[in-house]
Every structure is written in structure tokens, then in C-alpha cells.
Structure 1
Amino acid sequence: MTRLTLALLLTLLAIAPVASVAGVGGTATPLAAGQGGDAPAATTERSGTVVTIQANNTTRRLDITAAGRSNYSTPGMDLASTVAVTGQRIDQGLRFEYLSVRVERAGSAARRRAIADAEVERLNQAISELRDREWAVLLAYGNGEISERELLHRLAVIHSSASTIGAAATQLEEDGADFNADDLRRRAGELQTPIRAQVSEALSGQADTPVRVHVRGSEAGLVLQALSESRFSRDYYREAIRFDNYEEGANTYSLNEFLDLLNSRYPYATTFDADLDETTDGTNVYVNSHDQGDIRLYNDGRTEAIYREYQSLRLSDLPRGGVETVTENGTTVSMQLTPNGGPAKLVATNALTGDAVPAEVYVDGELVGQTGGGGSIWILQPSDEYTVTVETPDGTVVLQRPASTTNATVAA
């Protein structure tokens, strides 16, 4: 058998860059009130114990019923987290070196099979323990035991650990271990998200721009939001987890029933040719791309509810909602919303000339970015009512925003 130690180590130690920004600049064109009126008003439907808020032209968003904590966080370099992640990857690489030697020296096919089976079992156990760690971290934040920064640091380490386990499963499969790594990769993927990848880059100092995340949580669950910019796309990332929608036990919910649920709760993002699978721990998984981005949904077969949702949406493709405009101290500030609690685009211009105005933008007193040369910035909206303060060279402009409506499927 060929020893793939070097290839494995390269796989485990490679970190793909993901550019990220808290606010994305644009042109200084003021937002007219008639622009982007393609997002109809939301309507609320109530059926049994489930409340669904339906709006057209975009995806629904899983939400938590109430948030005990809500804040922005900008994680920076963290040596301890970086050392922990790197150490895990090196340990896994050395383990494969050891396994490769054992397999080469095994005297029979049965012995080689036993070595591979033992490693698969170890990886399965590692994923189960990692998921328990993630759950404990999320609950610790919801209970007020750790800060937003600590939460994001720990989730980034868990993300990297899951990535390492998934890569190890793939390496076993490619080394001819005679096993299908799909289930292990699927379970590892549940702990990996674009936001956690962004934070991981920030911790290791590889992020091109500061990473800003809006965190909202309670004892019932967690919602994270972030913005990202690459050469090809400007994206809105959102992940939501509901503790109360998950229970331990056997899965009694079929994939066909799950698909029917998706078609009723997520009609915009549901097609019948998407990836639909069940994991060995009783979770149904749905992965799909649509004309505004990508979505991953995790359904618990015991509660028959969605307990985990990851979305990546392109800012350019999100429908636009209403525009609010305020003029103070010679500056006009316009803010255009996207539906269902999505990000909002803010533009600051000179009230007389229409030229772009450089400004610092604060949400509830927290600096979220600068408008830059283009005079615009995308901001992450809190769900509760909030205040936007725009500081310009000529003075301050203040906008008051009511609580936003999330197009969610939540327990009543």
C-alpha cells in the first residue's frame, strides 16, 4: 500500500482563504423610494403549534422565539486557538503515518480490514464528542456563561476539528479502506459553516479584512449573521440552531415526509433534485442551491422539525424592500432593507450635491463600519428595534428602526 503521509499532511494543514468584510462598499447613488419594491409585505399564518411568516421572492429563515443576548463581535488573532487547531491537524497527520505503517505490516487482508474498521470507529466517536462540545458551547452562550468573542473562538476551533475529521475519513476511503465516507463527511459538515470559516481565518491572521459577526442567542438557540466579499461575489451568511427542535432517539421521519415538510416551509428553496440524505445519528439533511444562493437544512426525525439551518445568499440577488431616508446636518442617509431581517444597504450623500459622504456607522452604539469612498455600506440588522447613528464630518444623522420581521418557521 502506498503511504500517503505527505499528501495527508498537506490536506490537513492547508487553509483555504475566505475574504470577509463587515460592510461592503458601493456607489453613492441615493436609494429612491420606488426602487426594489419587489418584496411583498409579509403575511402570518398559524397552524396548530407552528407559526409561519410567509413572504415571497426569497427564502424563509429559521429563528429563535426570544433572544436573551444580542451583540456584534469582531474576533481577532488568537494564538491559543490557532495553536489548538494546528496541533489537531498535525496529530491527525502523524496518526495516519502510524496507521500507514501498521497497514503495510499487517499480515493479512483481515488484519488490514480490522485496522481500518477501528479507525472508522474512532472517527465516528470523535464526531459525536465534537458535536457534544458544540452543543455545550452554544448553551454556555445562551446561559450567559461566555462572551460573543469566546463563543466564536470555540466554534471556529470546532469547525476546524470537524474539517480535519472529514479529511481523515476521505483519506481512509481513498487509501482503499473499503468503506464509504459519505456519512462521516455529512456529520462532520454539520459542524462546519462559512461564518465559522471566516472566524477561523481571523484567529490565524489570514483574513484580508476584519470579520464582524452579529450574535443573537438564548437558552432556546442561536442565530449568527455575517457579510463576506470575494472577487466574484458579495454574500450574506446566516446560521440558526434551535435546541428545542432536537431530541435524542430513533428517527421515525421518512425522507419523503421530510421533503413534504420542506416544500411547505421552504417553498422558495425546495426542489426535488437536491441532495436529501439521512445520517446514522437520525438526522435528515437537505442541501440545495437556488437562484439567490445556497441552503443546508437539518431535520430531527423525533421532533419532525428543522433544528439547524445554514444559508449563504448573494447580496446582488436578494429582493429589495422599502427605503427610509433621513436628512440632517447637510447629509442625506438612505437605508434600503432586504426581506425577512436580512442585511440593509445604507448610503450617505451630501444633501445638496448628491456626492458620497465618508461616514462611520454605528448600530446601537457599536461601530459596524465606514461608508468608504463609495458612500455606502451593508449592515447586519438586529431583530429587535435598533438605532443607526451615522457620524459624518458635518454632523450626526440618526435613524430609528423598529423590530424586523423574520420569515421564519418557529415553535409557537
Structure 2
Amino acid sequence: MKALPLFVVVLLVASPVLGAASPGAPAGAATALTGAAPAQVEASPSNETIRVLDIDEGALVRSKVESEYVDLGPSLDFAALRAGGQIQLRASVERIESVDDVSRRSQLILGELNRVEQRAIALQSAQQSVITQYNADELTTREVLVELARIDAEARDLEERRVALRELARETPDFSVDSGRLAALERELDTFTGPVRAHAADVLSGKAAPTRFSVRTSQTGVALSSVTDDTYIREVYRGDLRNRDESGVTPTEALDKVAENYPGVWQSRATQNGADVVGAGDSYLVRINYDRGQLYAYVDSGSREVFKESQTRPLESLSNGTPTTEVKDGLELTVDRTYPGGPLRIQLNESASGNPIDANVTIGVEASQESTLLGRTGSDGTIWTVSPSGTYTITVIRGNAAVVLTTDPTPTPTLATNTTEENTSTTDIRPTQSLVTATTA
């Protein structure tokens, strides 16, 4: 890995650019529905939608929302992978701690660090291979989630080894490992982890309830999202926005880029200086806690753009999106429309009294002509999922009464970086493989 200086800036005071940032409106207004029945009405969003990094529509190759359940095969694989990682970690630590000679101990530490770096490079290749195979229809959506969850699990194990090696180096007299090298490796391993991948592993292992996942890919990028019991989670990686051959972004510039791209988040951060940035090697991580959730944004030093993000947002903090309502047979069905992969809220009430109704809800996507049972709305009449990318139909049947609502997702409130990705025909499922390499110190 490239050994570069480490910069750590915590709770930075905003620069003039940051101070000038102002909340931005969603990128484009929602498209009005046509041919709707008289009982169908539409309202404007109740408040601003948080901007997101996404796959550019012109470069989108595949997009699918699919329900996932516990799967014994992947569950056993995850357990074996975790056990193997722990065994390898303990073996490495014990081998190094058993050596008294400082020179030999130092060689062992550097050798282990080299191996971790090489595995990080291999994970980059593996991640790109998963995207390429999915685009070529050689992997199913479930298989993509399984593979990305495996990559996530190995990256987390490698991070544990990195931390252990850092501590062993500190305990070794007259020896040190360049802090920039260690931090650059940490940022690289961050590339392969995320809240959606971790949640997919929990679902497939039976540790979390079945849920629906949105998977969207370009030639070198992947966007994942899902809804847990009470939280919307999202992670996006854009390989086209990485440029390891150049370096020159300062910590303040990284903060400026995030403030520019996420004005609503920046304005509502938990405290006036409630953001921190950690940088090393060829990328910077900017972390922000704000009144509606948490944002991790990664800025590439070469492209000077946000190339990866993860967002965690409690459902209770989300806006109502763009509500669309259908009333029939005494049932009032409201869908708070959102962008592809965004948090989609469905509400069912009695049209006369307004009381919530507990009933089964199904969703069908026009492009696939498939219909899936989402579940029951519960005592509050509400159920959450993630939005499909195209026209979809929500259906509720309660006894002899039925209500059906067909609608479309809204435009995605994207970052400025979304316009930089090269356009790719959505019919082209043979993308060229563009692997990213790193230089070891």
C-alpha cells in the first residue's frame, strides 16, 4: 500500500465554503401521475429529502429489489469464514509474541502486514468480479448479496488483524510501522464493508428477520439499500470515481466536498462542529452525526469526489416522500413515493374514519410482472420497504374489499458526482473489467 502521511482532523471548524453551504432541494421534481382514477391524489414532500450517492441512470446496468431469507449454506460459510479468520489472527499473534529477537519480530510483523495488504487488493478484484458477473446475468441477486457479505466479513477480519499488528508494533522496542501505511490500509478495507452487507449476512444467517434488498449496479459500481426493523440503511460504491494515481486533497477540502454534496446533512449536523475527517493514502472518510441519522462519506484524493457513502437513518426521522393515495371500497391506501432504492412507506386506513387497518400488502413490478407479499401493515396500518426502480403496483385485499395503486418512483436526489460516470447502455451486460490495484510499501 502507498505509504503517505496520515491526517486526522476532529471537529474541524467550518471553512468559508462550508459556512456558505445551504440546504439543497431534491434533484428534480416528482413526475406527476397520468391517467389516475378520480380518487387518486398526490401531494408534495413534507420536507427536504437527504441527498444520496447513486448509480447514474445513464450507466445503470441492472436493478432489482428482492426478498431474502435465512439460507443454511451461506450461514455455514459465514460461520466458517469467521472461525477461520479468528484462528488465523490468533496464530499470527502467537507466532509474533513467541519471538524475543527484535529484528525477527519486526520481520514477522511486516510480513503479516504485507499479507493483509495483498488480501485487500484481492478483495478489490473479487468485488469487481461480483459486479461484472451480476451484470452479465451470471449471478442472481441473492448470490450477489451472499458474495458481497462474504467480502464484508473478510474485510472486517483483516481489519482486526491490522489493529493487532499495529499494537504488536507498538510493543516492539526500537520498531515502528509507518502510521500512514496503517491508516491507508484501514481506509482501503473500508471500501468492502457496509451496513447493508452486514445486515444481509444477518438475514441469511437467521440473525435478522427476512427483508427486501435493493441492488443497483453499473460497470464498476454497486448501490445497496434495505429497511431493518426501524432503520433505513444504504451503501454505495462508485469505482469510476476512484483515481489512485493522483493525490492532493486536504482534510478541509474533503469536508468542503461533503458539505457541498450533502447540504441538508451539513446544516443539521448534531453540533456546529459535529463532523470529523480521517485521511490517509488516497482517500478521506468524513463522518457526520446529524438530526436525522448518520453519514459516512468517502472522498477520493485523485478524483476529489465522493466515491463511497453509507447512510443510517431511523424510520421515524424520514420525511413522507411524495404521498400518492388511492381510495376504494372503504380502504384508503397511501404510498409515500421515493427514489429507486429509497425508503418506501405504505399506509392503509379506513377511508371514512381514518383508523389504521391491519392487512396483507403485495407489491408487483411492471417490468418483471412478478408480485411479492410484503407482509401485514400491523396495528398502525404501516409497512416499510425499499422502492423498485420502475413502475410498481401496491395491492391490498381485505375480505370483499380491495384497493390497487400503481405508481412510479421519484427522481433520485443525487450528488453532483453522479453526472461524472460514463454513460452505458442498459442493454449492455458485458462490461469490461476494470480492477483497481494498490502499491505496497
Deviates further, 179-188 or 363-372: 179-188
Deviates further, 157-166 or 339-348: 339-348
| Secondary structure of residue in 2 paired with 1:303 | coil
Count of matched residue pairs: 359
Structure 1 contact 360–392 (Cα < 8 Å) conserved: no
- The answer to whether 1:212 aligns with 2:206 is no
Distance 1:40 1:187 in 2: 31
Distance 1:101 1:56, change over 3 A: same
Deviation digits for residues 212-238 of structure 1 (CA, Å, limit 9, x no counterpart) = 212222335322220112xxxx21111
Deviation digits for residues 189-213 of structure 1 (CA, Å, limit 9, x no counterpart) = 3321111111111222222x11221
Normalised TM-score (structure 1) = 0.78
**Where does structure 2 lack aligned partners over 5 or more consecutive residues?**
1-22, 30-45, 366-370, 421-441
Distance 1:268 1:107 in 2: 55
Distance 1:79 1:378 in 2: 26
Distance 2:274 2:381 in 1: 42
Amino acid in structure 2 at the alignment position of 1:62:
L
| Secondary structure of residue in 2 paired with 1:332 | strand
Structure 1 contact 385–404 (Cα < 8 Å) conserved: no
Deviates further, 331-340 or 145-154: 331-340
Deviation digits for residues 230-287 of structure 1 (CA, Å, limit 9, x no counterpart) = xxxx21111222232223423233333322222222122236552322333x122222
Structure 1 contact 250–301 (Cα < 8 Å) conserved: yes
Deviation digits for residues 113-159 of structure 1 (CA, Å, limit 9, x no counterpart) = 22112111211221221122112212322333211111001011111
CA RMSD of aligned residues (A): 2.8
| Secondary structure of residue in 2 paired with 1:212 | strand
Q: Identical aligned pairs, as a percentage?
A: 26
The residue that corresponds to 1:187 in the other structure is: 188
Alignment of 1:64-75 (within 5 A): 64-66=55-57, 67-75=60-68
| Secondary structure of residue in 1 paired with 2:403 | strand
The residue that corresponds to 1:398 in the other structure is: 404
Distance 2:309 2:292 in 1: 16
**Where does structure 1 lack aligned partners over 5 or more consecutive residues?**
1-38, 46-54
Deviation digits for residues 146-177 of structure 1 (CA, Å, limit 9, x no counterpart) = 11111001011111111111122223334436
Cα shift at 1:43: 5.4
Cα shift at 1:338: 5.9
Structure 2 contact 323–336 (Cα < 8 Å) conserved: yes
- The answer to whether 1:310 aligns with 2:310 is yes
The residue that corresponds to 1:9 in the other structure is: none
Distance 1:276 1:386, change over 3 A: same
The residue that corresponds to 2:88 in the other structure is: 95
- Which of the residues 259, 278, 282 maps onto 2:255? 259
- The answer to whether 1:139 aligns with 2:135 is no
Distance 1:276 1:120 in 2: 24
Distance 2:94 2:346 in 1: 59
The residue that corresponds to 1:201 in the other structure is: 202
Normalised TM-score (structure 2) = 0.73
- The answer to whether 1:235 aligns with 2:231 is yes
Amino acid in structure 1 at the alignment position of 2:345:
K
- The answer to whether 1:411 aligns with 2:412 is no
Deviates further, 217-226 or 196-205: 217-226
Distance 1:99 1:258, change over 3 A: closer
Distance 2:403 2:24 in 1: 29
Distance 1:320 1:339, change over 3 A: farther
Amino acid in structure 1 at the alignment position of 2:301:
G
Structure 1 contact 156–196 (Cα < 8 Å) conserved: yes
Structure 1 contact 319–338 (Cα < 8 Å) conserved: no
Distance 1:339 1:91, change over 3 A: closer
Distance 1:92 1:189, change over 3 A: same
The residue that corresponds to 2:113 in the other structure is: 120
Cα shift at 1:59: 2.5
Distance 1:402 1:206 in 2: 33
Distance 1:64 1:407 in 2: 12
Distance 1:99 1:315, change over 3 A: closer
Deviates further, 372-381 or 289-298: 372-381
Amino acid in structure 2 at the alignment position of 1:382:
P
Cα shift at 1:384: 3.0
Distance 1:161 1:144, change over 3 A: same
Structure 1 contact 362–369 (Cα < 8 Å) conserved: no
| Secondary structure of residue in 2 paired with 1:149 | helix
Cα shift at 1:187: 2.7
Structure 2 contact 27–413 (Cα < 8 Å) conserved: no
| Secondary structure of residue in 2 paired with 1:74 | strand
- Which of the residues 241, 245, 248 maps onto 1:245? 241
The residue that corresponds to 1:388 in the other structure is: 394
Distance 1:105 1:321 in 2: 59
